Structure 1
Amino acid sequence: MRFSALADKVILAWGWPKRLIALVAGASGALALPPLDLWPLIVVPMTVAVWLIDGAVGETWRTRFQSAVVAGWWWGFGFFLAGLWWLGAAFLVEADKFAWAMPLGVVALPAFLALFPALGFGFARLIWPHGGGRIFALAVALTLSEYLRGHVLTGFPWNVYGMMLAGQNWIAQFASIAGLYGLTLVAVAIGAAPAVLGTAKPGPARWRIPALALVALCGLLGFGAWRIPTQPVANVSGVKLRLMQPNLPQDAKFNPQNAELILAHYLKLSDRATSPATLGVQDVTHLIWPESAFPFLLGRTPQALSRIAALLPPNTTLITGAARAGETLPGESRPPIYNSVQVVNDEGVVVASYDKVHLVPFGEYLPAFLEKLIRGVGLSEFVSVPGGFAAGERHTPLIVRGLPPAATVICYEAVFPGAVIPEGPRPGYILNLTNDGWFGQTSGPYQHFAQARLRSIEEGLPLVRVANTGISGIVDSYGRVVASLPLGTEGVLDAGLPRSGPVTLYAQLGDAFFAGLVAVFLLLSRIRAA
């Protein structure tokens, strides 16, 4: 089929055939995300998006807007359905309690998230120009809808469209200038550019926008090749890290009856020799365990702290995820429980902590405006903490002896661009402790790792990531994986800490450069060529 005939087929489609085209086109976008990272396939959903909006016709602006919104919803539903199917695994961890509610995560959430691209399609139709300018209009509209998705109702910036290009490390370097949303803007434009070949009149003019997109893509590749040094980044002197990945099944991990077995497993694995020349934990300065490592309150369990102290050599420090109890306030029956990172010295004393600020809705707490309704139908948050976790007051640096200050992010916090760095002096690295064991051997942990890795590129800081079931690893400030443990394996990883890179433009300006790009793209949307 000729390209123009394919375009006509999409543009002229109506009713359920059009919805099916939108659904399949949106779903194809998931192929460009981790773990497949088939980033050239971004052309499919974005090109079809242009033709779907072309076909949103009607006698009034209202009917055209409504037609575009419907197409955008089906397109977005396909994208999120294919990109977030793995959320269903969390409902099977305690299947007796949550399996019946699986459709809420697998279908209802994608249906809700699809409202954002629906708004993007609708806004694009309102400003829809003729010719090649509509490529820039689509890029602006979809990117702004993604920005809203990342901020409304605490935000859910998972699988923002720019992540379709982030798997190619040279291209991903553009995030050091414009962040994830700037990368999204150019990703949508590049992916949508071939659409004009199916609708423009024959002649040289029809190639202008695709040629411009190709030049932009080559520019991104060239910038990335120039920015990334050819040599490895030097390590911080005197730092020897050991990352411990226990790979415990989620159903066993939070069972208090297994507390002794879990701690014994951690202690034994942490002291494992990785070669004939190594002496286990005796060789390291810092031992790091994953998020929510224990089914008990570490700070209130002296026996566990004593056993940890017996493991740690002099001047070796443990950094671990753990639930932490705060002070009971007047009028409250129990203390608030925080999802925290705690630092334990070689004497078994907790000397520092960071409390997670950005909690996972429905996973770690129930939104107040929905809590009565949700509990009324027999649901609760996934974590085994009565009432859910309490949120930390503010994002603070974690100070650990022998290490530069850390920008600490626990699990979900790593997916928020521009929000991983605490106020104050620039930290030396990003520390991400997580537990992706809820999602098993699915694409979810790969997507999470990719998003944490992009934070390194945006901020110019190395990443130290420790996950219960993986992926654990060290990433330098250019997004290069220095060392890692694969998903679904048990083990320890010994590595140094790469030095921080130069302060990036994104770290200095935040989304200001992205906002400027939006203005430029709006001006370019007035182009009528092709």
Structure 2
Amino acid sequence: MSFLFLALSSVLTALAMPGFLFGFFVWFSLIFLFIALENKSVLESTLYGFLYFFFFSAINLYWVLPVLVENLPRTFSRFPSWLGFFVFVLMLVIEALPFALFGLLYAIGKRSVENRIWLDAFFVASLYTLVDYLRGLGEMGFTGGTLADALYREVGLLQLAPILGSYGLTFLIVLVNRLLYTMMKKSSRPIERVALAVLLIVLVSRSVENFLPLPQDGETKLVALQTHVTPEEKYRSSSMELYSKLEGHLEKLGNVLVVLPEDVFPSDPTRDEVGENLHKLASEKNLKIVLGAVSREGPKNSLFLIDEWGIRRIYSKVRLFPFVEMLPYERIFGAFNFLRGLAYFQPGEAFSPVKVEGYPSIGFQICFESYFSEPSRKLVVNGAEVLIVCTNDGWFAYNIALMQHFSKAVFRAVETRRQLVQVSNAGITGVVDPYGRIVKVSPVRMYDALEVSLIPREEITFYTRYGDLVVWFCVGFVLLGLLLPDQRRIRVRRIWR
């Protein structure tokens, strides 16, 4: 029976993630995990913690499987499909391992905090948040599946992010789950109480949203081009063939900044015919064109600015995607270099904003970097007034993958109080305002030119300046829970005396 509760918790938590069913599931989905962990030994609790996140990740990240067993093997022909399935399972194991630590420390600490309702709730919420934070560190760090992702449409609750960040929201979610779990054990009508608590949380969020300033329009505009080019088409066509499909669309524009996705061309535009044609077009139409391409310098996954003055590289991706763009921990995972994409890249120099004449200071990011708060925070501290994410996302066959990536843009926007524009190949291309509201999006998997009015801002939020201080708070509570004396032993001593 405990195993069924464990599986139910994994399923409900996954169904709360962006693109699935209902985000409000996340307010009670962990209750079943806590029920499953009742009266478990340290070893059993460790295993259950691992299995909870393994099953959750298998559902939440199922869209990665077709990439590994179909898209990458078909495009690059470096490994068979069955090996892609093995890599997917290995990825799930790596994602779930930190939660084995959650199960281990949960079993050790619960004896010290039981019957202390608030201390127990703060200990468990701190432990979950800390483990989830650790999962995002290092060369293989990943933040997909963070509980806060379920709140990307709860604009009212998102207003905590400029202070607490997304991990602060994760802490709040686990805290509510733990308190509801404790309440259920002592209540004769637990379902009604849980439903009432979740309803109150949603009502508070919607009420706060109604008091936010109305969305604004800026004076400067840009055009975000969703190009819709499949991976097979991109890597089996020449740069000039790809350019010919874009040329007609670009010719319709004039006197504006045009932003294209990541990796539009597999070649360096500063050294080929495509760059010459784009420079000529930009000069004739008074265009400023930002596009993604591979820089020969490195090589690097880069963005280039093309205008009447020429072509220059303005940003290169700093945080590279493990295995596809760089090989993490080479001594351990050296055998997995067959997963690389076009090439292994060198990281960019720094998170530096770009100044385009006539436009506010822009902080560019590329693809995977929007999964992390660090790039946005550093760009804003360094002067970025608007954030733009250029991404591909054409590898993914399911819209859930697109939604999960775009949900990260919501958090990066509200954490920094910056307007964020995401420009994608397949989608989602869209705009998020500084309060986390999704203002407009393009239809996915088709060409579209999205006009965006820019809203520059200069304020720096508490979270932008100081980062994830909530994690240090969590460290303190976890240590407190682990170091407190075991209450059972205290009772035994008292009885003995």
Per the alignment, residue 350 of structure 1 pairs with 311
| Residue type at the aligned position of 1:416 | F
Q: How does 1:332-351 map to 2 (within 5 A)?
A: 336-347=298-309, 349-351=310-312
Shift of 1:293: 0.5
Distance 1:500 1:351 in 2: 26
Structure 2, unmatched stretches of 5+, are 488-497
Match of residue 9, structure 2, among 4, 25, 29: 25
Identify which range, 42-51 or 189-198, moves more after superposition: 189-198
Q: 1:71-106: per-residue Cα shift (whole Å, max 9, x none)?
A: 111111111111111111222123343423222343
Contact in 1 for aligned 2:262/2:293 (Cα 8 Å): yes
Distance 1:345 1:198 in 2: 63
Distance 1:217 1:123 in 2: 31
Match of residue 246, structure 1, among 217, 227, 241: 227
Per the alignment, residue 390 of structure 1 pairs with 346
Match of residue 259, structure 1, among 239, 247, 252: 239
Q: How many residues were matched structurally?
A: 472
Q: How does 1:256-405 map to 2 (within 5 A)?
A: 257-271=237-251, 280-282=252-254, 284-301=255-272, 303-312=273-282, 313=284, 315-326=286-297, 336-347=298-309, 349-367=310-328, 368-370=330-332, 372-375=334-337, 379-381=338-340, 383-385=341-343, 388-405=344-361
Distance 2:216 2:26 in 1: 32
Distance 2:408 2:323 in 1: 21
Q: How does 1:473-484 map to 2 (within 5 A)?
A: 473-484=430-441
Q: How does 1:124-523 map to 2 (within 5 A)?
A: 124-128=106-110, 129-131=113-115, 132-133=117-118, 134-200=120-186, 222-226=207-211, 228-229=212-213, 231-235=214-218, 237=219, 239-255=220-236, 257-271=237-251, 280-282=252-254, 284-301=255-272, 303-312=273-282, 313=284, 315-326=286-297, 336-347=298-309, 349-367=310-328, 368-370=330-332, 372-375=334-337, 379-381=338-340, 383-385=341-343, 388-422=344-378, 425-500=382-457, 502-513=459-470, 515-516=472-473, 519=476
TM-score, length-scaled by structure 1: 0.82
- CA pair 342-517 structure 1, distance change in 2 beyond 3 A: same
Q: Aligned-pair RMSD on alpha carbons?
A: 2.9
Per the alignment, residue 60 of structure 1 pairs with none
Contact in 1 for aligned 2:327/2:334 (Cα 8 Å): no
Q: 1:451-484: per-residue Cα shift (whole Å, max 9, x none)?
A: 1221000011111211010101122111122221
Indicate the SS of the match to 1:430: strand
| Residue type at the aligned position of 2:253 | V
Shift of 1:260: 2.3
| Residue type at the aligned position of 1:295 | P
Distance 2:216 2:159 in 1: 16
Contact in 2 for aligned 1:46/1:188 (Cα 8 Å): yes
Indicate the SS of the match to 1:339: strand
Q: 1:374-416: per-residue Cα shift (whole Å, max 9, x none)?
A: 25xxx241x122xx11111322222222222222210000011
Indicate the SS of the match to 1:199: helix
Distance 1:213 1:491 in 2: 39
Identify which range, 515-524 or 38-47, moves more after superposition: 515-524
Contact in 1 for aligned 2:156/2:208 (Cα 8 Å): yes
Q: 1:106-149: per-residue Cα shift (whole Å, max 9, x none)?
A: 32211221112221122222221224343332211111000100
Sequence identity percentage: 24
Match of residue 32, structure 2, among 48, 57, 62: 48
Per the alignment, residue 61 of structure 1 pairs with none
Shift of 1:165: 2.1
Contact in 1 for aligned 2:3/2:36 (Cα 8 Å): no
Indicate the SS of the match to 1:421: helix
TM-score, length-scaled by structure 2: 0.87
Indicate the SS of the match to 1:281: coil
Contact in 2 for aligned 1:356/1:409 (Cα 8 Å): yes
| Residue type at the aligned position of 2:433 | D
Indicate the SS of the match to 2:325: coil
Shift of 1:317: 0.5
| Residue type at the aligned position of 1:39 | G
Indicate the SS of the match to 2:224: strand
Identify which range, 153-162 or 463-472, moves more after superposition: 153-162
- CA pair 523-174 structure 1, distance change in 2 beyond 3 A: farther
Indicate the SS of the match to 2:186: coil
- CA pair 501-42 structure 1, distance change in 2 beyond 3 A: farther
| Residue type at the aligned position of 2:215 | P
Match of residue 48, structure 2, among 71, 77, 83: 71
Distance 1:522 1:162 in 2: 24
| Residue type at the aligned position of 2:7 | L
Shift of 1:299: 1.6
Q: 1:192-212: per-residue Cα shift (whole Å, max 9, x none)?
A: 4332243226599x9999988
Identify which range, 77-86 or 99-108, moves more after superposition: 99-108
Contact in 2 for aligned 1:405/1:429 (Cα 8 Å): yes
- CA pair 161-500 structure 1, distance change in 2 beyond 3 A: same
Q: How does 1:117-128 map to 2 (within 5 A)?
A: 117-128=99-110
Shift of 1:420: 2.1
Shift of 1:320: 0.7
Shift of 1:518: 6.5
Contact in 2 for aligned 1:411/1:435 (Cα 8 Å): yes
